[in-house]
């Protein structure tokens, strides 16, 4: 019977490896649960790529004694995706710090939490899109805070501003173009309080249609950093 038990254990491990991958099995056997990738808090936050961090062997000047998140600290804007690339050949995680997991580390000031496994194979990547401004200290759950940690500083975007909108009047369904500044993170547009569907938006222009139920009044643009209101009213005809 003892032989049957060992055989069964091998079958279970092989089956798990087949389904979720060898990197995740390593975390499971170490007593860690692979975490899901952090998700966006708003579906309208655009993803800006370009912030890259490499996981390297060896100590950092201030970010770890065994491995290094290089660079140790990066500053990004809200909506930026940070991509970690593993060059060590062993498993790691990128996990936001807590007071118990990272003794002595400054408290994170942003509202986002994350914890993601990074595969052992050289060149393996993992990413997190940061949607909340603040300072985040993070570490590797497998090797610990002292062995490796880093810092992500996420700055808020500037307040939105409406310069004008065209046309200035029209019935429900009219396509309206709003121009201004800092409009890329818009999560909502309203006509006198009635929400419209955003069909396209950039940093300087938003296109919407006058929604059903809208009445004559101000146009507002809402984003994570504030609300902009038009100086003129849109007239619903």
CATH code, 195: 2.60.40.10
Domain that holds residue 201: 161-236
Is-above-0.95 flag for pTM? no
- Name the domain count of the chain: 2
- Identify the pLDDT of residue 174: 97
What is each CA distance from 68 to 113, 126, 132, 187, in whole angstroms?
Answer: 21, 16, 25, 37
150 shares its domain with 173: no
Q: Where residue 131 falls among pLDDT bands split at 50, 70, 90? A: confident
Instruction: Tell which of 132, 155, 178 closes a domain.
Output: 155
Angle between helices 2-20 and 22-29 (to 10 degrees): 130
Is residue 22, in this structure, part of any structural domain at all? no
107 shares its domain with 168: no
**Which 3-state string (H, E, C) describes 38-101?**
CCCCCCCCCCEEEEEEEEEECCCCCCCCCEEEECCEEEEECCEEEEEEECCCCCEEEEECCCCC
Cα separation, 10 vs 213, whole angstroms = 63
Indicate the average pLDDT of the chain: 82
- Identify the pLDDT of residue 201: 93
Comparing 62 with 116, which gets the higher pLDDT?
Answer: 116
54 shares its domain with 121: yes
Instruction: Tell which of 109, 130, 155 closes a domain.
Output: 155
pLDDT over threshold 80, residue 116: yes
Comparing 85 with 110, which gets the higher pLDDT?
Answer: 85
Comparing 45 with 91, which gets the higher pLDDT?
Answer: 91
151 shares its domain with 73: yes
146 shares its domain with 187: no
Is residue 80, in this structure, part of any structural domain at all? yes
- Identify the pLDDT of residue 24: 40
pLDDT over threshold 80, residue 55: yes
Q: What is the mean pLDDT of residues 93-112?
A: 95
Instruction: Tell which of 107, 138, 155 closes a domain.
Output: 155
13-17, 23-27, 126-130, 224-228: range with lowest mean pLDDT: 13-17
1-10, 90-99, 121-130, 212-221: range with lowest mean pLDDT: 1-10
145 shares its domain with 196: no
Is residue 10, in this structure, part of any structural domain at all? no
Comparing 66 with 31, which gets the higher pLDDT?
Answer: 66
pLDDT over threshold 60, residue 184: yes
148 shares its domain with 170: no
């Amino acid at each position: 019977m003892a032989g049957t038990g060992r055989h069964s254990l091998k079958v279970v491990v092989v089956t798990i490896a087949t389904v979720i991958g060898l990197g995740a099995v390593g975390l499971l056997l170490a007593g860690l649960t692979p975490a899901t990738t952090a998700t966006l808090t708003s579906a309208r936050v655009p993803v800006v790529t370009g912030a890259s961090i490499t996981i390297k062997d060896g100590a950092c000047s201030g970010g770890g004694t065994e491995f290094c998140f290089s660079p140790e600290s990066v500053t990004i804007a809200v909506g930026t995706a940070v991509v970690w690339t593993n060059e060590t050949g062993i498993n790691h995680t990128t996990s936001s710090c807590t007071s118990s997991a990272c003794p002595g580390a400054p408290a994170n000031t942003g509202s986002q939490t994350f914890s993601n496994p990074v595969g052992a194979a050289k060149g393996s990547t993992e990413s997190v899109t940061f949607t909340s401004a603040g300072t985040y200290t993070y570490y590797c759950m497998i090797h610990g805070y002292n062995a490796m940690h880093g810092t992500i500083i996420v700055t808020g975007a500037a307040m939105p501003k409406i310069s004008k909108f065209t046309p200035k009047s029209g019935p429900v369904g009219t396509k309206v173009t709003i121009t201004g500044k800092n409009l890329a993170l818009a999560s909502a547009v309203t006509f006198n309080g009635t929400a419209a569907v955003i069909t396209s938006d950039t940093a300087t222009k938003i296109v919407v249609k006058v929604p059903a139920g809208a009445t004559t009044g101000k146009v507002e643009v809402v984003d994570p950093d504030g609300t902009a209101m038009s100086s003129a009213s849109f007239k619903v005809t």
